[in-house]
Amino acid sequence: MKIQTDYQKLLERLESETKSFSKLGKPADYIPALAKVSPELFAISLITRDGNAFATGNHTVPFSIQSISKVFTFTMVYRKIGTAIWDRIGREPSGTAFNSLIQLEHEKGIPRNPFINAGAIVVADMMLEHCQNPKDQLLEFVRSLAGDESIDYNQEVATSEKATGHRNYALAHFMKSFGNIHHPVEEVLDVYFNQCAIEMTTDQLSKAFLFLANEGINPFTSEEILNPSRTKRLQALMLTSGLYDESGDFAFRVGMPAKSGVGGGIVGVIPRQLSLAVWSPALNNRGNSIAGIEAMERFTTYTANSVF
Amino acid sequence: MKIQTDYQKLLERLESETKSFSKLGKPADYIPALAKVSPELFAISLITRDGNAFATGNHTVPFSIQSISKVFTFTMVYRKIGTAIWDRIGREPSGTAFNSLIQLEHEKGIPRNPFINAGAIVVADMMLEHCQNPKDQLLEFVRSLAGDESIDYNQEVATSEKATGHRNYALAHFMKSFGNIHHPVEEVLDVYFNQCAIEMTTDQLSKAFLFLANEGINPFTSEEILNPSRTKRLQALMLTSGLYDESGDFAFRVGMPAKSGVGGGIVGVIPRQLSLAVWSPALNNRGNSIAGIEAMERFTTYTANSVF
Amino acid sequence: MKIQTDYQKLLERLESETKSFSKLGKPADYIPALAKVSPELFAISLITRDGNAFATGNHTVPFSIQSISKVFTFTMVYRKIGTAIWDRIGREPSGTAFNSLIQLEHEKGIPRNPFINAGAIVVADMMLEHCQNPKDQLLEFVRSLAGDESIDYNQEVATSEKATGHRNYALAHFMKSFGNIHHPVEEVLDVYFNQCAIEMTTDQLSKAFLFLANEGINPFTSEEILNPSRTKRLQALMLTSGLYDESGDFAFRVGMPAKSGVGGGIVGVIPRQLSLAVWSPALNNRGNSIAGIEAMERFTTYTANSVF
Amino acid sequence: MKIQTDYQKLLERLESETKSFSKLGKPADYIPALAKVSPELFAISLITRDGNAFATGNHTVPFSIQSISKVFTFTMVYRKIGTAIWDRIGREPSGTAFNSLIQLEHEKGIPRNPFINAGAIVVADMMLEHCQNPKDQLLEFVRSLAGDESIDYNQEVATSEKATGHRNYALAHFMKSFGNIHHPVEEVLDVYFNQCAIEMTTDQLSKAFLFLANEGINPFTSEEILNPSRTKRLQALMLTSGLYDESGDFAFRVGMPAKSGVGGGIVGVIPRQLSLAVWSPALNNRGNSIAGIEAMERFTTYTANSVF
């Protein structure tokens, strides 16, 4: 098929044009497990709504998904409790760094949105409320979305995060002082640090986000994950808040709902069309993959395809 | 044609369902000319990319477009100087109220985006730099976009804004102290207060924004206003920052790039499809038309059509 | 002696005039042990540099000294490490509430002064660094200053603080994320919550602060606690920062270096003359004893005696 | 007299020890008139309550008193309207830079204290309310305090300040937007920029502040400027807020109520004893005379005399 050939060539072109942008950044170094990842690694995977998959580079190498996991936990809770989620979390861009406490102080412990750390920690607290066994159920959910049973936590990463995550402890205790964390901080952060330590390949990530490009239906199981209206709403959140305080810039340059993580991954979708995952560990000063953003911008520019 | 009939009926349904939401808000009252507008007024106008127009309510009554004008001045400057605009203005959501000075102090006089007041004042300063006669040229530009020569400034409104706009004087002087305003504050604000005092109907507004749904081409003159890539980028800015600090919520509920004004107007577009303008003067506590947002949310919900 | 009679009468006058101001406030209620204290209790104790003591009201009833303890721990660390203390703590008024995190975020984990919670937590961390057994040594130090072996911790209060002190946990973890807490947060806060749970009477407090009015010499043991220059400096800190974000107002009204606690106590000194402790549990909205401030203002007004 | 000889020698010692500290800073350069002052200039003048005067260095060279003028205008208004002043200005240290707008935004246009720019601008507004001819009356007042008719405005400085004072225009318009400026901004700032442009020598300044060390009585005319209670209160304000956001540090190091200006002057008093003025144009990064602070710290250290 013509279109398949085109996408494969395009991904290869993106790799050759953008891979070297990684030299302008550097991998996250706050925990050893992330710091030791080679900045030379690079991968892109694309899967269309009808299941045609394309990939280039190290697309079968698992990496730490970090904040990308916030989309998974949010989705789990959103489908369980719906609009009640907004009693405890906002849906506005944060305007400040992903781990800032200032906004929380001004707004009495209500995080701006579910994709900054504070918001995801509240979501983790909700997981404890609504799941028997949050960590097992999360893994089961992600495996089902990606159609891949091999996905797992990296315990070394989770343990390192716990040992060094003082800022996240501060966020959790601070929100607890406002009454917006209901479980013990240790239990909430155990869920949170584990979700960040899930490891996936770009192939798996592109598949796991495909339900968003499929009006909320898991294409592998035909299960409705979210109804079309909520699928739209989740993508709006990703567009306005998915890349920390670089979200506006990313929307401007790329024009695609997406979520990034400090492991160097970014996954985006074009509604009703496709899902696209990129990975390059070197980050810019706002914590996003520098080559990854470049590749995604060129993707929407070369295809003249975006949500706008 | 079936589709035409449907849109007309839909607009009438939206009017009947949402008009009364205006009782939950109140019109802007900081200047007499705005305060005396009846909150009972209501209008919706829709125009498709191929020129089919639909309307209901007071769609031929002109009102003060206020901040909607920021899209017009930004477009004028963007097509003249392109990316140089970003040396002096950011493109991130503000995270704070539209007229806040806090962000400016932290970020050394660089406004977060062109749609908060500070950003639009810098754009007005750029107008003085790049236009012989900014106020005449702006009017000419807006008339051309809407294909309507009758559009004009309301001098009473402009004069009132000038007399009471102390916050905007503060913003302009503050940015001048950082070197980000190049002309005398009085001249810059003369442009700014006049642009806010343009009066248009929803019919005119829907037409004037249609170029955005037409890949940057003015459908009335076939002139390219912005190239497709810049058209995409402007819409991304509108989606992330078009409704002050309610932008995230509007994206979540409605899912359409749009711009609002404290006159009670909101105009949005669905790329490659249509432009939609609503007007209801009563505002919510974040300065946006309360019935207007409700109508636009129902529009995307009932049509299952949005950018996502 | 004439002067003695005068002070006794003056204290009684202050009690009769200001005790009822407690009706305008209410006791701290964040832990049961503080909430159950009767707002009717009231005490003033004064001791002159040459040892003449005066008192009225419930001056033998012990209460929770809370933040007043910050003067004791600061003094212990200051005499041990001197100016090195300023590598990790500032000496400016905070300008914000006593438990704010905003200033810490802007200033990279360095608290503004040792009398806001964050600063006192850093001092507690320094206690762990420089004392074999911080809790025992603190008690010993306070007992020696007051010349009274009966002073002790209230374990119920310390335990309650630990269970509800999420904001203080947030402060400690936040500073640890900046590297400004060197010991485990649990250990640091164990010292901190205990120091706040020391119980003393106004008689004991007035004695324990008398060294400040005696150029740094403990009048009961003749030991030099601080040299005269450091004694001056500590009093300056108390004057600019001793009453949270009400310090400026207190300096204006009273004009005396002092330290308050949410238990309702305030202790102040007039250099080279006297020490004065008041207690009334009902607090104003800035966390200071409402009748206590009133009594101290009248004291300096009636005697025309202050540092100014 | 022995004591006179001592002070003269002490001032000379301070000059020789601290004059060269000016190399660590640099003069204010935002207007030409200030930038061209030689950083080599240095002066100290001291006058005791009973009229014995001492001086060293360039103590007869007039310089721009800048923010020191805030004490004069505050005193004029305080004696006229008393506590009503506190309806529109606070009396807490600011916690932020002298010209910050952030605090004003959070606190709805009420400046923290009369010695930050915003506070002094409100005082200037009050001057327009309560004086027939504010600029003439201010000059008359200052001349009377100093017992010297030669004191005058420097029109070149006033004009320069007006042309470059965008931050102060921002402050004034911002407060006007909250209703806390009652007169036109141009008129208010005309008073403000002129008061900053008064020129005085250290001899004149030390005399003009002597009433503060004399329980509020002008020692040259025996007129009561402020009653003893208000004299105390004004000195408390100076101690907590007289040196911008270095006030806490200055209190800690020097321990004297004082006021500084970006012209390089600092004037302080020891209640009931003396007034001390220093001048050295080179400033530290917080806008205070670097050699001036050093000289004053050594003064209180060598004499073991301060308010504490």
- What pLDDT does residue C5 have? 56
Mean pLDDT across chain B = 95
SS (H, E, C) D8-19: HHHHHHHHHHHH
* Mean local confidence (pLDDT), C168-192: 97
| Candidates C168, C169, C171, C188, partner chain A, best to mutate (most A CBs within 10 A) | C169
Subunits touching A (CB < 8 Å, at least 3 pairs)? B, C
| Candidates C92, C288, C296, partner chain D, best to mutate (most D CBs within 10 A) | C92
Chain C positions in Cβ-Cβ contact with residue D235 (cut-off 8 Å): 255, 308
Residue C66 has pLDDT above 50, yes or no: yes
Chain A residues within 8 Å of chain C (Cβ atoms): 100-102, 105, 166-167, 169-174, 176-177, 185
Mean pLDDT across chain C = 95
Q: What is the dihedral of CA B59, B62, B64, B69, to 10 degrees?
A: 80
Q: How far apart are CA A91 and CA C137, in angstroms?
A: 50
Answer whether C146's CB lies under 8 Å from C207's CB: yes
Of the candidates C7, C78, C153, C192, the residue annotated as catalytic is C192
Domain ranges within chain D, ordered by starting residue: 2-303
- What pLDDT does residue B99 have? 64
Which stretch of DSSP H or E encloses residue A56? strand A53-57
- What pLDDT does residue C1 have? 39
Look up residue B269 and give its two tokens: 């577009």
Q: How far apart are CA C193 and CA C171, in angstroms?
A: 13
B152-209 pLDDT tens trace: 999 999 999 999 999 999 999 999 999 999 999 999 999 999 999 999 999 999 999 9
* The model's pTM: 0.93
Closest among D286, D292, D98, D304 to D202, alpha carbons compared? D292
Closest among B69, B87, B82, B197 to B141, alpha carbons compared? B69
Measured in angstroms, the CA of B94 and the nearest CA of chain D are apart by: 15
Q: Do C169 and A171 touch (CB under 8 A)?
A: no
Which CATH topology does A2-303 take? Beta-lactamase (3.40.710)
Quote the ipTM score.
0.93
Answer whether B232's CB lies under 8 Å from B214's CB: no
Nearest CA in chain C to D227: C304
Q: Is B192 designated active site?
A: yes
Measured in angstroms, the CA of D145 and the nearest CA of chain B are apart by: 35
| Candidates C94, C106, C161, C174, partner chain A, best to mutate (most A CBs within 10 A) | C174
Residue A261 pLDDT grade (very low, low, confident, very high; cuts 50, 70, 90) = very high
Nearest CA in chain B to A235: B308
- What pLDDT does residue B2 have? 45
Chain B positions in Cβ-Cβ contact with residue D185 (cut-off 8 Å): 166, 169
Residue A188 has pLDDT above 60, yes or no: yes
Q: Do C101 and A105 touch (CB under 8 A)?
A: yes
- What pLDDT does residue C177 have? 95
Residue C288 has pLDDT above 70, yes or no: yes
- Residue B157 is which amino acid? V
Q: Do A167 and C173 touch (CB under 8 A)?
A: yes
Residue C105 has pLDDT above 90, yes or no: no
Q: Do C92 and D247 touch (CB under 8 A)?
A: yes
Residue A98 pLDDT grade (very low, low, confident, very high; cuts 50, 70, 90) = low
Residue A18 has pLDDT above 50, yes or no: yes
* Mean local confidence (pLDDT), A142-147: 97
Chain B positions in Cβ-Cβ contact with residue A308 (cut-off 8 Å): 231-233, 235-236, 239, 257, 271, 307
- Residue C73 is which amino acid? T
Closest among D1, D8, D30 to D98, alpha carbons compared? D30
Q: Do B112 and A95 touch (CB under 8 A)?
A: yes
Q: Do A170 and C171 touch (CB under 8 A)?
A: yes
Q: Is D192 designated active site?
A: yes
Instruction: Identify which of C105, C167, C172 has the shortest CB distance to residue A100.
Output: C105
Residue B4 has pLDDT above 80, yes or no: no
B44-99 pLDDT tens trace: 999 999 999 999 999 999 999 999 999 999 999 999 999 999 999 999 998 766 56
Q: Do A247 and B103 touch (CB under 8 A)?
A: no
Nearest CA in chain A to C179: A166
- What pLDDT does residue A97 have? 64
Instruction: Identify which of C96, C240, C307 has the shortest CB distance to residue D248.
Output: C240
Q: How far apart are CA B21 and CA B177, in angstroms?
A: 43
CA B201 to chain centre: 13
Q: Do A174 and C176 touch (CB under 8 A)?
A: no
The ranges of chain D with pLDDT < 70 are: 1-5, 96-99
Q: Is C6 helix (H, G, I), strand (E, B) or coil?
A: helix
Closest among D67, D18, D25 to D42, alpha carbons compared? D18
Whole-Å CA distances, C152 to A1, C196, C198, C204, C225: 83, 11, 6, 12, 21
- Percentage of chain B exceeding pLDDT 70: 97
Q: Do C92 and D253 touch (CB under 8 A)?
A: no
C42: left (phi over 0), alpha (psi -120 to 50) or beta: beta
C67-85 pLDDT tens trace: 999 999 999 999 999 999 9
Q: How far apart are CA D41 and CA A164, in angstroms?
A: 53
C114-127 pLDDT tens trace: 999 999 999 999 99
Q: How far apart are CA C45 and CA C15, in angstroms?
A: 11
- Percentage of chain A exceeding pLDDT 70: 97
Measured in angstroms, the CA of C11 and the nearest CA of chain A are apart by: 40
Whole-Å CA distances, D194 to B169, D65, D128, D152: 22, 11, 13, 10
Nearest CA in chain D to C231: D308
Chain C positions in Cβ-Cβ contact with residue D304 (cut-off 8 Å): 228
Residue B5 has pLDDT above 80, yes or no: no
* Mean local confidence (pLDDT), C290-304: 97
Residue with tokens 């962000």: B103
Count Cα neighbours of D112 within 13 Å in the Cβ-side half-sphere.
32
Look up residue B57 and give its two tokens: 């309510």
Nearest CA in chain B to A257: B308
- What pLDDT does residue B40 have? 96
Number of Cβ pairs < 8 A linking chain A and chain C: 50
Q: Which of C7-21, C92-106, D245-259 has the lowest mean pLDDT?
A: C92-106
Q: Do C177 and A166 touch (CB under 8 A)?
A: yes
Nearest CA in chain B to A232: B308
Q: Is C280 designated active site?
A: no
Q: Is A197 helix (H, G, I), strand (E, B) or coil?
A: coil
Q: How far apart are CA C289 and CA D220, in angstroms?
A: 42
